[in-house]
Structure 1
Amino acid sequence: MAADPAKRLVATVDLLTLDISIESEVRFKCPENCGKCCVNLEIPLRDEDIERIEDLGYGAWEFVDYEKMFYRGDKFLGYALKKRPFDGACIFLDPETKRCRIYDHRPLACRLYPFVFVKHGTKMEIYIREDSFCPGIDHPEGEPVDERFILREYGDVLKEYRDKLLKDQGE
């Protein structure tokens, strides 16, 4: 089994205030029509991801790989997104245009990539996976991953975590 790629801490977010501390300089630009992450990664599906894709008219059996499972310790996290047998790419990647057919409804793991969010109490650490196949990481034309970038791209995700944290604290 291949080793996990290196992860670099990019930022820490206080979930109560949404204050962001930048920990290291990173630039990122997702190249159009690349699709390398759609081929090289196994994507975990949350229940919410499955429901959102089913709302598009797909049956779960069409896109959920029930043979690949994700765990954190002994906790079951979910199943994987199916890959095509002829090229190993995600079934939603258009083989000609290299564009996602469900882009606006893609799983959270796809939306976050190459960033990884790790929650520790009231703090969210944001890492970047330094996958060698991703040409967007530290791209010379890339945008600085700063507070503005994080809030624009992932502010709704962070607010969702904050709302859940506040709800859990109120119970």
Structure 2
Amino acid sequence: MSHVAALPSFGIVCLARKPGQKGKKTAPKTKPSKDSKGFSTGRKEIWRCVGNCGACCKLAKGPEFATPEEIFSDSSDIELYRSLIGPDGWCIHYEKSTRTCSIYSDRPYFCRVEPDVFKNLYGIENRKFNREACSCCRDTIKAIYGPHSQELNSFNRSIKDSSASK
């Protein structure tokens, strides 16, 4: 990822729940990509952040997403997360005009899309990280910008490009 400072932070609040939480939703599942004939391409999706999105920075996402209390076991993480939510539901550090994070290099651990964070917060094993991170991003982008948005198209194109180059 070049130009890391220009990328927005990722408030990882997706449909995922820690394993064993009774009655909770599990991480969303993605279907393999299909070619025009309906066959799987066999390519593994590799997650990467797409600039000029910021969907993850919308911290108050609504009832279809996990609440901080459902994600975090540490009350200080819940308090920190809640303190980042601005009056409009967006992170107070998200610069809407530039679609960047003003504290990117110092952002909280839960704003980092990394295998260890997904394991800690959602119980997702490292081998499933890319698939689940891509799924969480898609769900978040659809919820914030819509299923036919330029942001979703850019994300899908980026993931397709990263998968094709591996």
TM range (shorter): 0.3 to 0.5
Higher helix share: 2
What TM-score do the two structures reach when normalised by structure 2?
0.44
What TM-score do the two structures reach when normalised by structure 1?
0.43
| Structure ID, larger Rg | 1
Higher strand share: 1
